[in-house]
Amino acid sequence: MRWLTPASDIAPLAGLERLNGPERPPIAVALSGGGDSLALLHLAKVWSDRAGRTLVALTVDHGLQPASAAWSRFCAERAVRLGVTHRTLTWIGDKPTSGLPAASRAARHALLAEAARAAGARVILMAHTADDLMEAELMRAAGASAPSPRLWSPSPAWPAGRGVFLLRPLLQRRRSELRAVLEALGETWIEDPANDDPRYARTLARRRLNECAIGLARAGEPPAPPSALPHVRQGLGGEFTIPRDVLSAAAPAEQRRLIGVLALCAAGTTRPPSAAALGRFVAKLSEPTFTTTLAGARFEADATQLLVCREAGEAARGGLQPLDLPLGESVFDGRFLLTARRPVSSVVPLAGRAARLSRAERVLLKGFHPAVRPGLPAIVSLSSEVTCPLLAVDDAIGAKPLGLARLRGALGAIADEASAACG
């Protein structure tokens, strides 16, 4: 197998100017062993050698194919041959009997994000191509919900993907072009039989793509951040506020986009509100005051501002559950990064436990909006004492809201590796 030399006449990767972290951390590459991801690994290795950056290849073994372990070994061998560190990540646990593609995709993104962060990487290179863009267009035309991959986007996994971004540098390259690069290198790759399974909408779109002519889809940049975003403020309790006049002045599409993401980030949830629910919410903006819920978030509007926080009484989405708190970092309810420097028992919502706080903490709690207080994290010690890390002077357990960084990433305000490092 030949190796690409720095002088090779290869298609350039796109978007590499975004890899500008001042600390020059490692770059992760998602490697399945298929032709697209293997070509990406080869091309990324040429770039990383020139740029003086370290790569780490990450392979997810879903355990869904009899040959999956052999595929993982193939990926490890190829990575090592190219001088790239490799890790195999295994999807452990029961697999769903329905919705398997979506569950598999979610597990893959979570495993990749966790491994990237463990390696010190903020960016994962993904091997989506122009064919993927066109297949998404065909799927939407057939009535399926299929978003187009973006050149740059935050990891869709939450909270596993916090602070991790995806870069897809092959979106303007055809699959056939990449395979020609591999063939010129004398390289082989894996053909996943699932790509020919007619039960999946993408398989049908791929077949149609091979049978018909379709214009090359352009990889669109994400929409610009809403003009109202700089006016959003995050409180210590993870709540957001935004002036009513700023929100009212925004275009309807921008209002809906901002409200939908505010709900997810304030609530720590992952299932976006439906279009119908968003429509009902936007209609309320004409009311002088209102209180309502959306996607696990509580919205309270007075004459001047809109408050968005966790709806502490909402349990349908699986949040607000007690969490055993190990030493080190963990995330509570998708909203707070907790750092435990001494053993404790668990973290629970503060609702119903405020009276057990110390007198000093109860005084500080009065500074929080009443709607915010019940959803704050409460630490239960091994001796059953209750404290809130946002109020306690003891720094043995720290708490940091994650919502604003997530909001900025989701709305396109974090555009490169350097910005991601700043949160």
- Domain layout of the chain by residue ranges: 16-211, 229-315+407-422, 323-404
Structure tokens at 143: 């009535």
For 100, residues 6+ apart whose C-beta sits below 8 A from its C-beta are: 64
Residue 27 pLDDT more than 60?
Answer: yes
For the entire predicted model, the pTM comes to 0.90
Q: Looking at residue 7, what is its pLDDT?
A: 38
Q: Determine whether domain 16-211 maps to CATH 3.40.50.620.
A: yes
Question: Mean pLDDT over all residues of the chain?
Answer: 88
Please state, in angstroms and as integers, the Cα–Cα distance from residue 274 to each residue in 260, 319, 372, following that order: 9, 19, 24
The pLDDT-based confidence of 343 (bands split at 50, 70, 90) is confident
At 181, is the secondary structure helix, strand, or coil? helix
Angstrom distance (rounded) from CA 101 to CA 175: 21
* Residues 196-213 pLDDT 10s: 544 555 555 454 555 454
Q: Which residue has the higher pLDDT, 196 or 110?
A: 110
Residue 391 pLDDT more than 70?
Answer: yes
Residue 37 pLDDT more than 60?
Answer: yes
Least confident of 176-190, 312-326, 400-414: 312-326
Structure tokens at 204: 């049908």
Q: Looking at residue 335, what is its pLDDT?
A: 96
Angstrom distance (rounded) from CA 423 to CA 417: 10
- Rounded to an integer, the average pLDDT of 347-351 is 93
**Percentages (nearest 5) of helix, strand, coil residues in the chain:** 35, 20, 45
Q: Looking at residue 98, what is its pLDDT?
A: 81
Q: Determine whether domain 229-315+407-422 maps to CATH 3.30.200.
A: no
Residue 142 pLDDT more than 70?
Answer: no
- Rounded to an integer, the average pLDDT of 387-416 is 92
* Residues 171-199 pLDDT 10s: 989 888 899 999 989 999 998 665 554 45
Q: Looking at residue 411, what is its pLDDT?
A: 95
Angstrom distance (rounded) from CA 171 to CA 126: 10
Share of the chain above pLDDT 90, in %: 66
